[in-house]
Amino acid sequence: MTSDFPRLVSLACHDLRTPLATVLGFARTLERTGDLRPPADRYVQMIDMAAVQIGDLLDDLSLAARIETGRWEPVTALVPVEELVAEAAERGEDDVGPGSGDLVRVDRKAAVRALAALAHATRRHGGVERMQLRADGDVVLITPLDEQIVPIVLGEDLRDLGAAVGVRIVRALGGEVKADGEALRVRLPSGEV
């Protein structure tokens, strides 16, 4: 029965997309009409943002199910690690530290998703507003990190879906995630042949 669970998760994610698309579509239609007065206009914006967030969570669940069942086939390419850091930091409005110029071999979209999710989890559970992401060779350092949130961010204490999926993505790509003092070290596969 447990071997069917990833399939059940995948099916649920797929089936939830249709009603979610309906909610998102109508919210955006209402926004475009321009006929909404405060506070209704703000409520519709909140519905839109929440629907997008639910879609992202469904993507995370679906990806985790594919990784767990060995059905995820990442499309890897050589990517400058600074570009991944910049994209991930932009998603969370985080700071970008100095870079290293190194290349890593990753599925770009998945790597950005993982880094952004790990930074978000660190920010969310660490009670800080902004994080710093910086490249150090093939390692991305996410700071600050305190030891109380380490099990959550490493996916050992399943209280953050994004972190749990982010760790799985990095590992499926051949990298590793570990706590190192006040930093989360995300080693990505080196671009060297």
What span, in angstroms and rounded, lies between the C-alpha atoms of 136 and 113? 19
Instruction: Answer whether 2-68 and 77-187 agree in fold.
Output: no
Q: Predicted confidence band at 193 (pLDDT cuts at 50, 70, 90)? A: low
Helix 81-92 / helix 108-126 crossing angle, nearest 10 deg: 50
CATH of 2-68 among 1.10.287, 3.40.50, 1.20.58, 3.40.1010? 1.10.287
Q: What is the pLDDT of residue 108?
A: 97
Average pLDDT over residues 52-72: 92
Residues 17-56 have pLDDT tens digits of 999 999 999 999 999 998 899 999 999 999 999 999 999 9
Q: What is the pLDDT of residue 1?
A: 43
On the question of pLDDT at 157 being above 80, the answer is yes
Burial code (b: 16+ CB inside 10 Å, e: under 16) for 161-192 equals: bbbbbbbbbbebbebebebeeebbbbbbbbbe
Average pLDDT over residues 67-86: 94
Quote the pTM value. Answer: 0.87
Residues 93-152 have pLDDT tens digits of 899 988 777 999 999 999 999 999 999 999 999 988 888 999 999 999 998 888 889 999
Question: Does the domain at residues 77-187 carry the CATH identifier 3.30.565.10?
Answer: yes
Q: What is the pLDDT of residue 144?
A: 86
Give the residue extent of every domain in the chain: 2-68, 77-187
